[in-house]
Amino acid sequence: MSDQVHKVVIIGSGPAGWTAAIYAARANLDPVVYVGVAKQSPSIQLPGGQLMLTTDVENYPGFPEGVSGPQMMQMFQKQAERFGTKTQPRDIVSVEFNQNGPHKLTTDKDETVLAHTVILATGATANWIGLDNEQRLARNGGGVSACAVCDGALPMFRDKPLAVVGGGDSAMEEATYLTKFASTVYIIHRRDELRASKVMQERFLSKPNAKVLWNKTVEDVLSAPDQHGHEVITAVQLKDTLTGELSELEVGGLFVAIGHTPATGFVKDSGLEFDDKGYVDLKGKSTATNIPGVFAAGDVADSEYRQAITAAGTGCQAALDAEHWLGDHDLI
């Protein structure tokens, strides 16, 4: 165990984490970012967060030609490190938050880390169906996504039949957005009744290119090489939940909208407060949590927007909040 107490430790390496690091480093707070490990874990899905599954980001200001998610996160990291941010290829797996500080964190290598302030930026992981081909095509830009607002306007999806899996408000919102670009948008739902609010259902069903496939589940995602030899989705295999009958639906894209899970497993017993959806509960208009010196930024505290730019914005706020807290307690 090291006796060093860091001014700022940031847990997570998506847009929120790196933006917090940039601001904290420029304020001479010597931030340390625990980037996670390249596997599923209780806290972080993988270094870089959900953007590591996004091939083209076209809605982030400053990139007129677009940028790949992994490339964007690499650029964020380089900028943070340019100002002195230290990065650790470790995952924080447990915490002991102290109302009077410092806070004690434990890594996946059983190392102890002490910090006056902690910024949680671990994000929220999209809930996937769990199919091998689904994950493979999501990772290589083959037409499977968990965010229609992020990816739906890309040229590869325009004027093609698209499918959305889900039946809640999020699925309706995603599907309605896609109707602006797709030839047909199919909602694939495992029951005979949607869970979404009536107004969200009506908004989607009022579109001329909207269709619902009832009592269906996705059993597999089919693909083939395109003209450039890149593997892309061609169809989904469906199973009727009543008869067990299998069928194929030709689509040019699959959007999974069955919810997100905030990456908060490692802080569940820490005394931190959460909202009714399991996201970190923030106090007032700041990024402060109920524990002094602990702040949260990005999707781990945002069940509504879940965009790279909103995450980055709250990362900035968290760093400024941490700086003010440290100053108020004569720790800088």
Examine the domain organization and report whether 230 and 292 are in the same domain: no
End-to-end CA, the chain:
23
Domain ranges, residue 120? 5-125+260-328
Distance from C-alpha of 146 to C-alpha of 246, rounded to nearest angstrom: 24
Examine the domain organization and report whether 33 and 95 are in the same domain: yes
Domain boundary among 206, 222, 256: 256
Lowest mean pLDDT among 31-45, 153-167, 315-329: 31-45
Q: In this predicted model, what pLDDT tens digit does every residue of 90-105 receive, in sequence order?
A: 999 999 999 888 999 9
Angle, helices 308-328/15-26, rounded to nearest 10 degrees: 40
276 is known as an active-site residue: no
150 is known as an active-site residue: yes
Domain boundary among 256, 276, 291: 256
Instruction: Count how many domains the chain has.
Output: 2
- Sign, CA torsion 74/294/147/173: negative
Average pLDDT value for residue range 6-11: 98
Q: Please, what is the average pLDDT of the chain? A: 92
Model pLDDT, residue 56:
76
Q: How far is CA 316 from CA 51, 108, 221, 295, in A?
A: 18, 27, 39, 11
Examine the domain organization and report whether 82 and 45 are in the same domain: yes
> Domain containing 94 — which CATH number?
3.50.50.60
Q: Tokens 């970012």, residue? A: 33
Examine the domain organization and report whether 154 and 203 are in the same domain: yes
Among the listed residues 113, 31, 114, 124, the one whose alpha carbon sits nearest the alpha carbon of residue 79? 31
- Answering whether pTM is above 0.85, one says no
97: burial class by Cβ within 10 Å (0-12, 13-18, 19+)?
A: buried
Which residues, at least 6 apart from 324, have a Cβ–Cβ distance to it below 8 Å?
none
Examine the domain organization and report whether 223 and 297 are in the same domain: no
Distance from C-alpha of 200 to C-alpha of 196, rounded to nearest angstrom: 6
Distance from C-alpha of 75 to C-alpha of 29, rounded to nearest angstrom: 21
Examine the domain organization and report whether 186 and 240 are in the same domain: yes
Lowest mean pLDDT among 5-9, 37-41, 86-90, 211-215: 37-41
pLDDT above 70 (res 142): yes
Distance from C-alpha of 131 to C-alpha of 139, rounded to nearest angstrom: 13
Q: Which residue of the set 150, 299, 302, 321 is catalytic? A: 150
Among the listed residues 34, 168, 153, 50, the one whose alpha carbon sits nearest the alpha carbon of residue 103? 34
Q: What is the DSSP string of 187-233?
A: EE-SSSS--S-HHHHHHHHTSTTEEEE-SEEEEEEEEEE-TTS-EEE
Cross-strand bridge partners of residue 40: none
Q: Which residue of the set 56, 91, 108, 151 is catalytic? A: 151
316 is known as an active-site residue: no
Q: In this predicted model, what pLDDT tens digit does every residue of 216-230 receive, in sequence order?
A: 999 999 999 999 999
- How far does Cα 89 stand from its chain's mean position? 19
Which residues, at least 6 apart from 269, have a Cβ–Cβ distance to it below 8 Å?
none
Q: Which residue of the set 91, 147, 302, 321 is catalytic? A: 147
